[in-house]
Amino acid sequence: MSNGFSKNLGTPEERKSFFILSLRRLLLVLIDAVSVNLAFAGICAMNYPWDEFVTQIVPALIGRSLYTALVFVCTYMFFGLYNSLWEYAGLHELVRCAGASAVATFITIGIDSMADRLAFLDAQVLRVSVYFTAVLLITAVVGSVRLIYRVLRRVSKARADSLLLRNRKNKRVMIIGAGDMGLLILKEYEAKSFANGKPVVFVDDSPMKRGRHVEGVPIKGTCEDIPELAKKFRINEIIYAIPSASPQRRSEILRLAMETGCTLKTSLSIQEITEKNANETTVRDVEITDLLARPEVTLNTEICSYLKGQTVVVTGGGGSIGSEICTQVARYSPEKVIIFDNYENNAFVLKNKLDRKYKGKVQFFIRIGSVQDPARLKEVFEEFKPSVVFHAAAHKHVPLMEDSPCEAVKNNIFGTYNTAQAAIDSKVKKFVILSTDKAVNPTNVMGATKRVTELIIQYFERKNTGTHFAAVRFGNVLGSNGSVIPIFKEQIALGGPVTVTHKDITRYFMTIPEAAQLVVQAGGIAKGGEIFVLDMGEPVSITSLAEKLITLSGYKPYEDIKIEFTGLRPGEKLYEELTLSEEETQMQLTCNDKIFVLPPVDFSSEQLEAGLENLKKVDRLNVRETLLSLVPNFKSEE
């Protein structure tokens, strides 16, 4: 029959654990009681003549043994020495042990004096040197018992872990970098009983560390020795743990590690660690972005101060790039951020994430609507009266826009026109649109429509409306919706093949955070009418990108996962350009060495107005011809 008493004892496992813990503490109490009295006996034997020790001191020690043991045990309890996890005992525990022993000794002196006056149990006051030495010896004895326990537990645990590894056939792990991050990862793996793998070797470029050990794990060789050491130590997994290295060096090291065929992981950045929960791992899989040797972008706080206390609207705010712009904007203490999008799910998730992070310090709002709807834009702008607008809403998928060119015109061109007009009517201070390298000498409808949007913002700037307009032109964004990386990953997960349109095709790439950060900075630099070009680095081979992604997924390109070349799609170029020929000679560097500014190219405002009127009436048959009248360098295949 169950009762309240048995319920309070918990589960059978909990009762068993409680019993074992109580037994251990009782054993430790008995060991301490015996150790203290033996310590006093040993010290007295060294401080008194043998005859006196045998005839007087031994009876006194026997008489006082009980209360001496009680005093020390109670004092140790008060200092919490029986509550410590002595498996992890260290200097802190030894200091507490010394303090407790000193306090207990002073209490014992008082009791000895009182007992001596009362002639109680043949007790007597011992020499001062005995008490002083007792503090040192008792600390050493009691502390040694605990440290011996720690060593025995470590040895036992190491044997158990070794057996676990043999039974589970766990991974053998190499850690690149024997610094603080490498030690943190080693401790994390150890804390999980090496369930995720056993670190067996470090590599580090520092000659001061070579030949040494970190928690028993040897440091062997430099990063250049990674392939050789991976074979020698039969490594299954390699973890990169040098957060201080430059992106170029990180890329070089990871490329070396890729040659081994091992699974690759990397430590989190400091920002990633702060955003993770404390109980989450400090390592993640290596992503393709880790292999891009691009210097880290840092936001200039002074440039971005224009956002402080402002109301900011981000159109397409729920999209991959728009959501990151919202995230970056929020770092600079705006009063309100309005996420404007026609798809509610992503916007809802983003708002909840930002609300959790900023806890009311920044107000976030969602407004559902389309940039093709001037009335809805007017309604939202009148409600919030924004001072800064980032226009990220657009159709960006090249092949889809080739099939639906009129939709690209409606959303990209007139969506931008409508939003810009709403900004003027609401006296917005700054209006920044996101353009693309495909707007340069476009060969597809999407690129042509984005080139027209660049002309539109320069057209409105000419009208001196009080709103400063600017465009930011950049290339492909890794991981954004519709980019090659998610497509390649899905193809690899299905066993291949990975499809690349042409073996020589190249593209400019940057990460989503990098693009968003530079867009936000460009907004601070903008004075009106500029087209900003982001430094995209060197163009990346799509074939090489596919090969690396297959390797990172644990397969061999062309062997395990095939790569097929399918031919260029409609409107697709073999390579992209970031500037027109007439722009390139006049391109200037801004105060940010990653952002260049282009002077406006001369065009006829009347011709643009006429072309926009014509575009309102286009159909599938004449849309490309009408676009060509506005973008003379548009090379359409139809």
Instruction: Locate 391 and state its tokens.
Output: 């226009």
Q: Are 416 and 470 in contact (CB under 8 A)?
A: no
Q: Where is average pLDDT lowest: 361-365, 442-446, 462-466, 623-627?
A: 462-466
Please state the separation of Cα 275 from the chain's center in Å: 7
Q: How confident is the model at residue 317 (pLDDT cuts 50, 70, 90)?
A: very high
Tell me how crowded residue 305 is: count the other CB atoms within 10 A of its CB: 12
Q: Which pLDDT belongs to residue 84? A: 60
Q: Which pLDDT belongs to residue 486? A: 81
Q: Which pLDDT belongs to residue 2? A: 43
| Residue 150 φ/ψ, nearest 5 degrees | -65, -45
Q: How confident is the model at residue 6 (pLDDT cuts 50, 70, 90)?
A: very low
Q: Which of 454, 470, 452 is nearest to 615 (CA)?
A: 452
Q: What is the mean pLDDT of residues 23-45?
A: 83
Q: Which pLDDT belongs to residue 269? A: 67
Does 359 qualify as catalytic in the annotation?
no
Q: Which pLDDT belongs to residue 614? A: 93
Q: Which pLDDT belongs to residue 176? A: 93
For 472-481, the pLDDT digits (tens) are: 988 777 766 6
> Could you please report the per-residue DSSP string of 122-157?
T--PPPHHHHHHHHHHHHHHHHHHHHHHHHHHHHHH
**Which of 171, 220, 438, 548 is labelled catalytic?**
438
Going from the C-alpha of 17 to that of each of 21, 22, 257, 282, the distances in angstroms are: 6, 9, 45, 31
Instruction: Locate 378 and state its tokens.
Output: 């007017």
- Residue found by looking up tokens 């070797």 in the block: 201
Q: Which pLDDT belongs to residue 3? A: 46
What angle is formed at CA 44 by the lines to CA 40 and CA 48, rounded to 5 degrees? 170
| Residue 586 φ/ψ, nearest 5 degrees | -110, 10
Q: How confident is the model at residue 345 (pLDDT cuts 50, 70, 90)?
A: very high
| Residue 334 φ/ψ, nearest 5 degrees | -70, 165
Instruction: Locate 504 and state its tokens.
Output: 């020589």
- Residue found by looking up tokens 């799609």 in the block: 569
Instruction: Locate 572 and state its tokens.
Output: 């697709």
Q: Which pLDDT belongs to residue 278? A: 43
Q: What is the mean pLDDT of residues 123-140?
A: 77
Instruction: Locate 418 and state its tokens.
Output: 């409508």
Under 8 Å CB-to-CB from 230, ≥6 apart: which residues?
174, 238, 257, 260, 262
Whether residue 361 has pLDDT greater than 70: yes
Q: What is the mean pLDDT of residues 227-232?
A: 92
Say yes or no: do domains 170-286 and 303-630 share a fold.
yes
Q: Which pLDDT belongs to residue 168? A: 45
Q: Which residue has the higher pLDDT, 128 or 327?
A: 327
Q: Which residue has the higher pLDDT, 188 or 369?
A: 369
Q: Which residue has the higher pLDDT, 475 or 613?
A: 613
Q: Which of 377, 321, 315 is nearest to 343 (CA)?
A: 315
Work out the percent of the chain whose per-residue pLDDT is above 70.
83
Q: Which pLDDT belongs to residue 311? A: 97
| Residue 598 φ/ψ, nearest 5 degrees | -110, 140
| Residue 472 φ/ψ, nearest 5 degrees | -120, 120
Q: Which residue has the higher pLDDT, 62 or 566?
A: 566
266, β-bridge pairs: 240, 284
Q: Which of 406, 393, 418 is nearest to 445 (CA)?
A: 406
Q: Which pLDDT belongs to residue 167? A: 45
C-alpha to C-alpha distance for 596 and 388, rounded to whole angstroms: 21
Q: What does the mean pLDDT of the chain come to? A: 83
Domain boundaries, the chain: 4-163, 170-286, 303-630
Q: Which residue has the higher pLDDT, 282 or 240?
A: 240
> Could you please report the per-residue DSSP string of 470-507?
EEEEE-EEETSTT-HHHHHHHHHHTT-PEEES-TT-EE
Q: How confident is the model at residue 4 (pLDDT cuts 50, 70, 90)?
A: very low
Torsion (CA) 103, 108, 109, 111 in degrees, nearest 10: 130
Whether residue 24 has pLDDT greater than 80: no
Q: Which pLDDT belongs to residue 107? A: 86
Torsion (CA) 234, 280, 166, 149 in degrees, nearest 10: 120
CATH architecture of 170-286: 3-Layer(aba) Sandwich (3.40)
Whether residue 120 has pLDDT greater than 60: no
CB-based burial label for 580 (10 Å; 0-12, 13-18, 19+):
middle
357 residue type, one letter:
K
Q: Which pLDDT belongs to residue 105? A: 84
224 residue type, one letter:
E
Q: Which pLDDT belongs to residue 10? A: 59
Q: What is the mean pLDDT of residues 420-433?
A: 95
Q: Which pLDDT belongs to residue 466? A: 87
Q: Where is average pLDDT lowest: 87-101, 209-223, 232-246, 553-567?
A: 87-101
> What is the C-alpha radius of gyration for the chain, rounded to an integer number of angstroms?
36
Q: What is the mean pLDDT of residues 557-581?
A: 82
Highest mean pLDDT among 12-21, 149-158, 217-226, 331-340: 331-340
510, β-bridge pairs: 477
Work out the percent of the chain whose per-residue pLDDT is above 90.
33
Q: Which pLDDT belongs to residue 238? A: 92
C-alpha torsion sign, points 352, 357, 363, 364:
negative
Q: Which residue has the higher pLDDT, 139 or 443?
A: 443
C-alpha to C-alpha distance for 78 and 81, rounded to whole angstroms: 8
Q: Which of 114, 36, 103 is nearest to 75 (CA)?
A: 103
- pTM equals 0.66
Q: What is the CATH number of domain 303-630?
A: 3.40.50.720
83 residue type, one letter:
N
Q: Which pLDDT belongs to residue 81? A: 76
Q: How confident is the model at residue 354 (pLDDT cuts 50, 70, 90)?
A: very high
Q: Are 307 and 330 in contact (CB under 8 A)?
A: no
Highest mean pLDDT among 18-22, 44-48, 139-143, 193-197: 44-48
Q: Which residue has the higher pLDDT, 300 or 347?
A: 347
Q: What is the mean pLDDT of residues 281-308?
A: 75
C-alpha to C-alpha distance for 10 and 437, rounded to whole angstroms: 66
Q: Which pLDDT belongs to residue 528? A: 83
C-alpha to C-alpha distance for 60 and 220, rounded to whole angstroms: 60
| Residue 178 φ/ψ, nearest 5 degrees | -100, 40
Q: How confident is the model at residue 376 (pLDDT cuts 50, 70, 90)?
A: very high
Whether residue 253 has pLDDT greater than 80: yes
Q: Which pLDDT belongs to residue 573? A: 78
Q: What is the mean pLDDT of residues 509-530?
A: 84
Q: How confident is the model at residue 297 (pLDDT cuts 50, 70, 90)?
A: low
Q: How confident is the model at residue 582 (pLDDT cuts 50, 70, 90)?
A: low
Whether residue 219 has pLDDT greater than 80: yes
Whether residue 342 has pLDDT greater than 70: yes
Burial 73-94 (b: 16+ CB within 10 A, else e): bebbeebebeebebeebeeebb
Which one-letter DSSP state was computed for residue 561? B
C-alpha to C-alpha distance for 244 and 242, rounded to whole angstroms: 5
Q: Are 429 and 388 in contact (CB under 8 A)?
A: yes
Taken as a whole, the chain contains a residue count of 638
C-alpha torsion sign, points 404, 408, 410, 415:
positive
Q: What is the mean pLDDT of residues 426-448?
A: 92
Q: Which residue has the higher pLDDT, 612 or 303?
A: 612
